[in-house]
Structure 1
Amino acid sequence: MPRAAFYAPMKSPNSPVPSGDREMGRNLMRVLERAGYVPDLVSELRIYDKQGDTAHQNRLRAEAQDEATRLIRDLSDDTAIWVTYHSYYKSPDLLGPTVSRARGIPYVQIESTRASSRLTGPWAGFAQAAHRASDAADAIFYLTANDLITLERERFGDQKLVHLPPFLPNDTLPPAAALDGPMLTAAMMRAGDKLASYTLIAQTLDLLQGDWQLQIAGDGPARPQVEALMAPFGDKVRFLGQLDPDAMVETYQRAALFFWPGVNEAFGMVYLEAQAAGLPVVAQDRPGTRDILLPTEYPDPDDGPQALAERINQLRDSPAMRRDLGARARAMIARTHLLPSAAATLRDTLDDLVKG
């Protein structure tokens, strides 16, 4: 099989720190193999500037130049294509365009974003580098319609823009949930948007009617804040901690519905996992989440916790509605969000570029 050089500038798939980026990187390497390519993680150089520090950016550029020189020399001769995951203004791909051009192979990006608003200010240099890297790509795979807006507006030449729906790295669906257990939340606990979602959850729980239970799977540096938010509900809320994939599958199967508001989520793998198990989802109607959620009713963010509570009460009161939404969600995941579908999408484009 031909080899595909794989690189994730923001976080290596081998990182010891759990995150959606790490899991997506691992999943993409798996799907590349299914598409007929040997995935080579060719570099673990992290290019990431959280603060907008020009000096730090310059140091990373120097490191990237040395790494690119090494890769041009050492990259396997049967490498047919370069694939970069998640290049953006804080974490631009400083390797792929240089190495692929020197080695004469196609260059592809997955889930890249363009941020024209960052072309001035503290990240200007990195934003320009991210734009140049996107311009160099023969094809860019986008995951959501929201990402497509700027990619299409600023498309370079005859560059291909290909929709790759977010996917689970499985061939088949897990067993279906019984839909008669507690509500379930699963997410990392960190400051920012994640904590904002947990805050919304606490506000929503305060408005729920009758007897209810919520289990929370996940951990992280903001766990004390999350525990404080949930403390008023006593033993109605149970913390499960960070679970391995097998334990998460079992946890989804014991739940009645999945509750995660999704504040500023790019899309959220947990939504795919929950729907694969046949759980109806309670989330807000946001640009990232609506690409991967079963088309149905989701509260507008402006309607706040009251609308979320009303939706939860509606689902808790109607087992038939839960079963209907869950079955339709499973069918959607099986159709467009599993490994075979993702592999076919990648294979079609990569093979054309390699043959061309």
Structure 2
Amino acid sequence: MPALKIAFHTPLNRYGDGAVSGDRRMARQLVTLLERLGHRVAIVPAERSFMREPSEAELVANQAAAQEVIEQLARAWQEPAVRPDLFFTYHCHYRAPDLIGPVLVERFALPYLLAEASDAPKRFAAGWTPAAGLARAAIRQADLHFCMTPRDREGLAKLLPVDVPLIDLPPFLLADGERPARTGAARPAGEPVRLIVVAMMRKGTKENSYFALARTLAQIADRPWTLTLVGDGPQRAAIEAAFADLPSERLRWLGRIGNAETRAELAAHDLFVWPGLNEAYGLVYLEAQAAGLPVAALHSGGVPAVVEPGRTGLLVADHDEDALASTIATLIDQPGLRERLGAAAQIFACEERNGEAACAILGTALENALQRHRTRHGGARR
């Protein structure tokens, strides 16, 4: 297909804001793959529309800011050489609705693609109804959806007509530097098993997972393990307090470190432990597996989309901390099991989720979206 001009928008977090998170990395990876396919990507110059709590005033302010961007782009897009061929939004849900794409695609008759959109009737409650309604309207307007987890696909399938394409795009990991050699397995026998977690320390699901991990490890304090914690954030003091009853000599707090240092730390450990309560999916699981680490986690949210239970890690029922403690204990006690799972994990992350399949999926889907849009709108272009 010919090279396309693509407007790329990220309502959840402003693209290129310098902060660290899995969704920011996935946004960059999507842009990388689109460019590999030969397309020109222009980032929509907008602040995020994310709201942590429902707020009518904040939503109105976000809409006003979005309108300024809409007017700016509408003026620029009067020039055919600048106007995009399609609009691609990564993330659209009740906390971060796309306030820009729906207006511009209607005004300029553009194909509209959404990746990792989500919808659920329960979001129309507790003050979220206006924002959830805006997100739902955008979701219904899209010509095609990329679904990164089965959970998101299920929600969209209940909302959309059967003729709206729902394309599975499993989470992937592009290498952003040389991966260090695996060193964890080479340590002398008898040393404590080295556990590691990498996650931001912020309110909500991340904080709750840290608290669950502290309670889980307290149940197996009789096992020989140490834990390295990589990450920082506003909830660090509360998280440190949650681990205060565990022996301090078992804990190693590294704070925020760079990507290369994180990869080296992962390669020097034995087991990645992160409950993953209500995780969207978590690219960090793929990063850990790429380093050859098996995973112990909950079967929660989108975690099964990035960990293959029984092959690359062990997942237990959501919120079952007793089962998670027992699973971690089993992996501590059985080095052979850890090595088998870790070897499969590395193949899974590095060979099956390295972006090649995602690139092919994107290429085919873009062509299908253009064709679908022409069919739906009769080839109109304002």
Q: What TM-score do the two structures reach when normalised by structure 2? A: 0.87
Counterpart position of 1:251: 265
2:138 aligns with one of 119, 133, 141 = 133
Q: Give the root-mean-square deviation of aligned CA atoms.
A: 2.1
- Structure 1 residues 243, 314: closer, same or farther in 2, change over 3 A? same
1:125-161 alpha-carbon deviations (Å, 9 max, x no partner): 2211111111110101011101111101111462211
Partners of 1:13 and 1:23 within 8 A in 2: no
From 281, 298, 302, give the equivalent of 1:288. Answer: 302
8 Å CA contact 1:173, 1:330 repeated in 2: no
Q: After superposition, what is the alpha-carbon deviation per residue over 1:93-129, rounded to whole angstroms, capped at 9, x for unaligned?
A: 1111221222232110010011323345522222111
Rate the CA distance shift 1:242–1:292 in 2: closer, same or farther, 3 A: same
Note closer, same or farther for the CA distance 1:13–1:65 as it changes in structure 2 (3 Å cut): closer
2:42 corresponds to: 40
Deviation sequence 1:216-247 (CA, Å, 0-9, x none) = 11001111112222233211100111111111
Of 339, 357, 364, 1:323 maps to 339
1:205 corresponding residue in structure 2: 217
| Residue among 252, 256, 263 paired with 1:242 | 256
The structure-2 alpha-carbon separation of the partners of 1:224 and 1:32, relative to structure 1 and needing over 3 Å to count, comes to: same
- Of the three residues 289, 293, 296, the one matched with 1:279 is 293
Residues 169 and 196 of structure 1: is their aligned pair in 2 closer, same or farther, counting only changes over 3 Å? Answer: same
Partner of 1:298: 315
Structure 1 gaps, min length 5: none
1:146 counterpart SS class: helix
- The SS at the match of 2:23 is helix
| 1: CA distance, partners of 2:53 / 2:319 | 30
Q: Distance in 1 between matches of 2:280 and 2:156?
A: 15
CA contact under 8 A between 1:8 and 1:84: conserved in structure 2?
A: yes
Aligned residue number for residue 240 of structure 2: 227
Moved beyond 4 Å, runs of 4+: none
CA contact (8 A) 1:173 1:277 kept: no
CA shift, 1:11, in A, is: 0.7
2:55 to 53, 56, 76: 53
- Aligned partner of 1:353 in structure 2 is 369
Whole-angstrom distance in 2 between the partners of 1:317 and 1:341: 36
Aligned length: 355
Quote the Cα distance in structure 2 between the aligned partners of 1:284 and 1:159: 32
Which letter does structure 1 place at the counterpart of 2:97? P
Render the CA deviation track for 1:182-224: whole Å, top value 9, x for unaligned. 1111111112221221112212222223332111110011111
> Per the alignment, do residues 117 and 210 of structure 1 end up closer, same or farther by CA in structure 2, a change over 3 Å counting?
closer
Q: Gaps spanning 5+ residues in structure 2: where?
A: 186-192, 375-382
Change (3 A) 1:121 1:285: closer
